Amino acid sequence: MSPRMIALALISIGPLMGCATQPLLSMRDAIGPEVTQVNPGEAQGELVVYSPTRVSVVDQSEYPVHTPYTIYSLNNQVVKRVRNVSGLFNREPERVSLPQGSYRVKALNTGPGEVMVTVIISSGKTTVVDLDGSALPQDKQDHWVRLPDGHVVGWRADCNSDRCR
Residue ranges and CATH numbers for the domains of the chain are 23-164 (2.60.40)
Please give the full DSSP string across 112-164, using - where no structure is assigned.
SSEEEEEEEE-TT-EEEEESSSSSS-----TTEEE-TTS-EEEEBP---SGGG
Tens of pLDDT, residue by residue, the chain (165 residues)? 666 555 545 455 555 444 445 677 776 788 888 666 655 556 899 999 988 888 766 555 667 888 999 999 999 999 999 999 887 767 788 999 999 999 999 998 877 788 899 999 998 999 999 888 777 766 656 667 877 777 778 777 755 444 444
